[in-house]
Structure 1
Amino acid sequence: MASKKYVSFLSLLFVLASATSQAQLGGTYDVMDSSVVPSKRLPQHTEFMANNYAYPAKPRNQWEIGLQVGAFGISGDVRNRFPGIGAALHARKALGYVFSLRGQVGFGTTKGLNFQPSSNWLKNSAWNSAGYATGTQVFYNYKTNVYDLSLQGVVTLSNIRFHKAKSSFNVYAFAGLGGMIYDTKVDALDGSTPYNFSSVIAQYGPTQYQYKDRKDIRKDLKDILDGDYETQGETDNGQPKVFDKPFRFIGNVGAGVQFKLNKKLSLAIEDKLTITKTDLLDGNQWQENSQTATAQSRDYDTYNFLSLGINVAIGGKAVEPLWWLNPLDYAYNEVNKPRHMKLPKPVLDDADGDGITDQFDQEPNTPAGAPVDSHGVSRDTDGDGVPDYKDKELVTPTQCQPVDADGVGKCPPPACCDSLSKLIAEGGLKKDCGIGDLPSITFKPKSITLSNDAKALLASAAQKIKDNPNCKIAVIGYCSSSKSEQQLSWDRVNAVISYMVDKEGINQDRFIFKYGEMGGDCNTVDLRDGTGEEGPTTVPAPHPNLRRGR
C-alpha cells in the first residue's frame, strides 16, 4: 500500500512539473557577446568576429547544483519491505552541448524482511551469534544505511532541435563509477534473547512447511519483532574499510528528465541503479538449499534510487548550462537574418550591357550604346516608333507624325494657310456654327479622373452640343515633351470624349480628337467649336504600355 501511495505521489509531481514547464523560457545567447567568452578562448572569438574563423568560441556556462530526495531500495537475498528514503547532492558541469560531468554524493536507508522462514543461517555470523538452536527457523531481516560517492558522465540529445529554438524539458542518461560504504544491522534478538517464531509457522508433513497468509505473517512478525536492529550484519572480513565501515567500488547507470521552471531553476525526475560487488547489503549471502541449507548465492546486491530533484544554475557572466541551449540556434538565425556572415556582392547577368539585368530586361538585345528606359527598352523620346539611336529627328511634333524610317515627319501647312485655301475655294470665310464658348476641364496632376465639378461642366456643355446638332466639337489636350506626357494628354482627351458619349449620349462622330498640342496648360483639356476643322474622331493610344487605369 505504501508503495502504491509513493508511486501515485511521484505521478502527481510529474504532472505538475510538466504543466509548469510548458512555456518557452528565454532565448539563446548572443555569439557576438565577448563578455561570456572565457579569456582562454578570446583569441578564437577575435578570429571569428574578424571573419577569419567560421566557428564562434564556446561560451562560459553555468554550473548546476542539485538536491534529490526519493525512494531507496535494495535488491538482494532478503525481500525489501517497502522503499526506504534516499537523498543526494550533485554538482554538474557541461563540457559540450551533449556531454557533461556530474559528481554526486548520496545516502540511502531501507529495511528488509522475508515472509518465509529460513534455516540456512548457520554460516551467517549475525544469526549464528544470536544463540538460536540448530534447526530453528528464523525470518531474515535487515536495516541498511548506504553512503556513496560517484562521478558520472551525462549524455543529453533533446536540446538539439531542428524545428524550434529550444525546449523546456531535457531527457538524459548517465553512467558512472565510484565507491560506497554501508552499515547493515539485523534484528535477531528480543532484548538479549533469540526470538521465538514458532507461533508464526504452521507445520505439516515431515519435509514441507505450509505458511500462513502473507498479511497474517506480516502482522505476527510486527507483533514479535521489536525493531531494534541490534546485531551487526554479516560482513566479509576481506573487505577494505573506510570510517570503520565496509567499502566497495560501484558502478551506476540511470536516466532522467528535467523540466525547466526558469533560467535558474529546474525540476528533475530520475532513476539510478547502482551495481555493487558485494552480496551483503542485506546482511545475507546464503540461500535456502533443501540438501545442505548452506548454499552460498553468487549474485551481487544492487540498490535503486528513484528521486525528485530541484536544480539551481549558478555562475555570473555565463550562459545557461549548455544542455539547455540548442547548438543549431546560431546557424539557423544567421541563415534567416544574417548579422555576421560575409555576403558576396550579387553578380547579375546583363548580356547586352545596357545597365538593366537580364531578369528585368524587356529588350535583351539592345545595340551597344543605345539609350534605354528602366525596362531595358530602347528609348523613343518623341514616341514616333523610331528608337532614339536611329531617330534623325529626336523630337518630332505629334502633328508631323507618322514619320519615315529615319524618324523624320512631314508637318502639315500652318492653320492660317489651310484656312486661306478654304476661303479661296469657298469664295469667302466660313462662319462658325454659333455654339458659343465651351468650358475647359481641369485635371489633378497625373490624374485622368473627372472630378464632380468637371462632370457638371460637361453636362452643361452637352446640352449646348445637343442644341446645336450641326456643330463639331474639338477636344484638345496639351503637352508632348515626353512619352508619358503624350500618353497622359491622350488619356485625358479620351476621358472627356468617353464621358460625353457614354454618359451624355452624344454621337462620337461629332468630336475631333486632339492631344499633345502646344500652347496650353498640361493639366487642362479644352472644348471648342471645331466646325470646319479636319481631324480624326478616334486616335490610337500613342504608348499603350504607359496608359493609366488599364
Structure 2
Amino acid sequence: MASKKYSFLAGALCLMATAGFAQTPATAGGYSASDSSIVPSRRMPQHTEFMNGTYNYPAKPRSQWEVGIKAGSVNIGGDVSTVFPGFGYGVHIRKALGYVFSLRAEYMNGTAKGLNWQSSRNYSLNEAWQGYTGQPVFYNYKTTLNDFALEGIFSLNNIRFHKAKTGINPYLMAGIGLTTYGARVDKLAAPDVAYDFSTIPQDGTYENRKEIRDALRDLLDGDYESAAENEGTSRGKFLGMTAIPVAHIGAGIAFKLNNRFNIALEDRFTLTKSDLLDGQRWAEQVQGNPVLTRDHDTYNYLSLGLNVNLGNSARTVEPLYWLNPLEYPYSEIRNPRLMRLPKPVLPDADGDGVTDQFDLEQTPQGVPVDAHGVSRDTDGDGVPDARDKELVTPTYCQPVDADGVGKCPCPEGCGVDTSANACATTLGALPSVTFTGNAVRLSTDAQSLLASVAARLRNSPGCRVVVTGYCASNKAAQQRSWDRVNAVINHLVEREGISADRFIFQHAQEGGDCNTVDMRAAAAGEEGPSNVPAPHPNLRKG
C-alpha cells in the first residue's frame, strides 16, 4: 500500500511540474508603482509623497486573498503501527502581510487507522481491551481528527535577482492550533463477542508481517465499535471529543497555473501533548505489567491542493508572495519613468543657453541667440537684435544704418508703437481652440488655427501670448485644463518652432468654457511662467 502511495505522489509531482513550467510569461501581471487605484486609502499619504519625490519608497499595493481546498493522506505516529492510507481534507484562507511572510487560517478533517502486526498480552491496564482473558490481541484504532490552525508561511523563491517572476514558490510554515480527536478500536466480532485472535500467526517475525496483516484483515470487520482509552476529564472536550493544543511545522511548493490559480503539494507535521491519538499509551513488557510511556503522539498531513486568488483585478494585485519586489527598482534603473535624474550641467561660458561644445559665438550676457549660439538677427539686416532699434525692417527698406533702421520713406512713428496694447494691436484677436468631451488632443481644425497664430507670432517677435484653460471644480477638471493648455503650447513650440518663453501658461481659471482654451496678446509688462508642473500627474492623460 505504501508503494502505491508514493507512486501516486510521484505522478502528482510530474503533473504539477508540467503545469508550473507551462504558465504565463514571468513578466506578466506586474503593476505600476504610480497606479493610485491599487493603493488603499490609509497608504495614500505615502503614495502622494512618493509621487511628489519627497519619499523614496512606493506604497504597498492592495493584494488579493488566497482561498484553497486540499486533500491527502493523514497518518498518526504513535504506539500502534500506521495503516496506509489515512485520508484528510481541508480548506484555508491566506493573506500576505509582505513579500515573504503571510498568515493562513486552516481547517483539516482527517481519519487515520492503525494495526499492529505483532500481538500483545500485557493490556490489562488499557481499559479499551478489557474483556480478553489471557489471549493475545492485536492493537488497532481508527481516529477522527479536527484540526484548527493559524500558521505563518515564509516564501522562499519570489525575491529574484535575475528574473522578474517565478511560477514555482516553495515555502516553509510554522503555527499553532487546536485539535479535537476521538479514537475507537475494533475488538468485537459481534455484540459482547470478542475476536478470537488465536487463529493469527503468533511468531511475530518480520518475514510473516504481510501474512499476519492479511489474516487480520480477513478477521476484523472494520466497525471500530468500541471507544479507545482517552484522557478522561484531564483534557477539555469539544463536541464530545478530546481537545488539545498542537504545534505545526511543514513545507510545501506551489505551482502557478495563471494569475488566479495555483496548485500546491504540502507536508505538515504536527506535535501534540497527548499519547492517546492511537488509543494506546502502554509499552509492552516481556514479563509483568505494561508501563506507561512518556512519548507523545504526532500526526502527518500530506496534501495536494487547488488555490484561487480572490479580489478585483482592477483594484488589487496578486498575493505579494507571487510578486518580485525588485521588479520596480530594476525597471526604473532600466527605463526611468518616476526616478528623478539629476539635470546634466554642461559648460556655457557666455550663459546664452548653448553649451560651449556647440556655441559658434561668445555673445554678451542677455543677447538673444539662435540654436548655434549666434546673435539673433530677426529681419536679416546684419544688425543683431540686441542693437537693432528697428527689429523688423522690410527688405525694401534695407540696407540699414548702424542702429538697424531702414532708409525708406516712412510716416512719422510708423516703425514704433509705444502704446500699452502694442502687441494686442499687432497680433489682433487670436482664435480659441475647442476640445470635445474629455479629449486633450488637438483636432485637425485646431492645428490649422494654431498655424495662423504661429504666423502672426513670427511677424511680431517681441510679443508674448497668454494661453488660458478653464475649470477647477475637481482634480480631474484641473488636470484636464492643464493637459489642454500644455497641448496648445507644445504644438506651437514643437511643430511651429515658436520659442517656449513667448507663452504665459494659465490653467484651471474661472469664468470661461471648460472645453475652450483662449489665447490673447500679453499686456505690456505682463509676466508669467511658460511651463507649469502638472497638478495631478496620476490623472494625466497620454
State the match for 2:64 in structure 1: 62
Within a 5 Å distance, the mapping from 1:264-275 to structure 2 comes to 264-275=260-271
Check 1:211–1:201 CA distance in 2 against 1; reply closer, same or farther (3 A cut).
farther
Give distance in 1, aligned partners of 2:167 and 2:222.
46
State the match for 1:43 in structure 2: 45
State the match for 2:93 in structure 1: 91
Give distance in 1, aligned partners of 2:339 and 2:124.
78
- Decide whether the 8 Å contact of 1:201 with 1:210 is kept in 2: no
State the match for 1:154 in structure 2: 153
Alignment-mate amino acid for residue 219 of structure 2: I
- Decide whether the 8 Å contact of 1:265 with 1:311 is kept in 2: yes
Alignment-mate amino acid for residue 64 of structure 1: E
State the match for 2:507 in structure 1: none
Give distance in 2, aligned partners of 1:283 and 1:116.
16
1:222 aligns with 2:220: no
Alignment-mate amino acid for residue 184 of structure 1: A
Alignment-mate amino acid for residue 173 of structure 2: F
Check 1:59–1:211 CA distance in 2 against 1; reply closer, same or farther (3 A cut).
closer
Check 1:341–1:89 CA distance in 2 against 1; reply closer, same or farther (3 A cut).
same
State the match for 1:193 in structure 2: 193
- Decide whether the 8 Å contact of 1:27 with 1:165 is kept in 2: no
- Give the stretch that moved more between structures: 89-98 or 211-220: 211-220
2:30 aligned to which of 13, 28, 34: 28
Check 1:355–1:212 CA distance in 2 against 1; reply closer, same or farther (3 A cut).
closer
Give distance in 2, aligned partners of 1:120 and 1:54.
72
**Unpaired runs of at least 5, structure 2:** 365-370, 374-542
Give distance in 2, aligned partners of 1:187 and 1:347.
89
1:383-428 CA distances to partner (integer Å, 9 max, x unpaired)?
xxxxxxxxxxxxxxxxxxxxxxxxxxxxxxxxxxxxxxxxxxxxxx
Structure 1 residue 6: Cα displacement: 2.1
State the match for 2:283 in structure 1: 287
Give the secondary structure class of the aligned counterpart of 1:201: coil
Within a 5 Å distance, the mapping from 1:448-459 to structure 2 comes to none
Give distance in 2, aligned partners of 1:146 and 1:49.
52
Alignment-mate amino acid for residue 341 of structure 1: M
1:334-355 CA distances to partner (integer Å, 9 max, x unpaired)?
1111111112210135689998
1:213-236 CA distances to partner (integer Å, 9 max, x unpaired)?
112111211221111111101001
Within a 5 Å distance, the mapping from 1:134-173 to structure 2 comes to 135-173=134-172
Give distance in 1, aligned partners of 2:16 and 2:363.
73
1:325 aligned to which of 323, 332, 336: 323
Structure 1 residue 375: Cα displacement: 12
Structure 1 residue 83: Cα displacement: 2.2
Give distance in 1, aligned partners of 2:159 and 2:202.
63
**Unpaired runs of at least 5, structure 1:** 204-208, 377-550
Structure 1 residue 293: Cα displacement: 3.4
Give distance in 1, aligned partners of 2:289 and 2:350.
104
State the match for 1:177 in structure 2: 176
1:140-161 CA distances to partner (integer Å, 9 max, x unpaired)?
0001110010100011131101
1:302 aligns with 2:301: no
- Decide whether the 8 Å contact of 1:202 with 1:212 is kept in 2: no
Give distance in 2, aligned partners of 1:219 and 1:320.
51
State the match for 2:527 in structure 1: none
Check 1:164–1:210 CA distance in 2 against 1; reply closer, same or farther (3 A cut).
closer
1:74 aligns with 2:76: yes
1:254 aligned to which of 250, 256, 280: 250
- Decide whether the 8 Å contact of 1:264 with 1:313 is kept in 2: yes
Check 1:300–1:267 CA distance in 2 against 1; reply closer, same or farther (3 A cut).
same
State the match for 1:18 in structure 2: 17
- Decide whether the 8 Å contact of 1:116 with 1:211 is kept in 2: no
Give distance in 2, aligned partners of 1:351 and 1:52.
33
Give distance in 2, aligned partners of 1:262 and 1:72.
29
Give distance in 2, aligned partners of 1:43 and 1:277.
48
Alignment-mate amino acid for residue 142 of structure 2: K
Give distance in 2, aligned partners of 1:165 and 1:4.
39
TM-score w.r.t. the length of structure 1 is 0.62
Give distance in 1, aligned partners of 2:51 and 2:352.
39
Give the secondary structure class of the aligned counterpart of 2:87: strand
1:3-39 CA distances to partner (integer Å, 9 max, x unpaired)?
2222222212211211122242523111111111111
State the match for 1:311 in structure 2: 307
1:347 aligns with 2:345: yes
Give distance in 2, aligned partners of 1:245 and 1:6.
30
State the match for 2:236 in structure 1: 240
- Decide whether the 8 Å contact of 1:258 with 1:269 is kept in 2: yes
- Decide whether the 8 Å contact of 1:202 with 1:211 is kept in 2: no
Give the secondary structure class of the aligned counterpart of 1:46: helix
Give distance in 2, aligned partners of 1:349 and 1:292.
102
- Decide whether the 8 Å contact of 2:118 with 2:202 is kept in 1: no
Give the secondary structure class of the aligned counterpart of 2:14: helix
Structure 1 residue 257: Cα displacement: 0.7
Alignment-mate amino acid for residue 150 of structure 1: A
Give the secondary structure class of the aligned counterpart of 2:342: coil
Check 1:183–1:115 CA distance in 2 against 1; reply closer, same or farther (3 A cut).
same
- Decide whether the 8 Å contact of 1:102 with 1:154 is kept in 2: yes
Give distance in 1, aligned partners of 2:282 and 2:227.
16
Within a 5 Å distance, the mapping from 1:433-472 to structure 2 comes to none
Give distance in 2, aligned partners of 1:211 and 1:169.
42
Alignment-mate amino acid for residue 337 of structure 1: N
Give distance in 1, aligned partners of 2:47 and 2:353.
42
- Decide whether the 8 Å contact of 2:136 with 2:197 is kept in 1: yes
Give distance in 1, aligned partners of 2:350 and 2:161.
45
- Decide whether the 8 Å contact of 2:29 with 2:259 is kept in 1: no
Give the secondary structure class of the aligned counterpart of 2:2: helix
Give the secondary structure class of the aligned counterpart of 1:213: helix
1:213 aligns with 2:208: yes
Structure 1 residue 211: Cα displacement: 7.6
State the match for 1:485 in structure 2: none
Alignment-mate amino acid for residue 236 of structure 1: E
Give the secondary structure class of the aligned counterpart of 1:13: helix
Give distance in 2, aligned partners of 1:168 and 1:43.
33
Check 1:41–1:354 CA distance in 2 against 1; reply closer, same or farther (3 A cut).
closer
Give distance in 2, aligned partners of 1:78 and 1:313.
41
- Give the stretch that moved more between structures: 293-302 or 65-74: 293-302
State the match for 2:259 in structure 1: 263
TM-score w.r.t. the length of structure 2 is 0.63
1:8 aligns with 2:4: no
Count of residues paired in the alignment = 365
1:159-183 CA distances to partner (integer Å, 9 max, x unpaired)?
1011111111111111000101011
Give distance in 1, aligned partners of 2:206 and 2:255.
48
Structure 1 residue 356: Cα displacement: 8.0
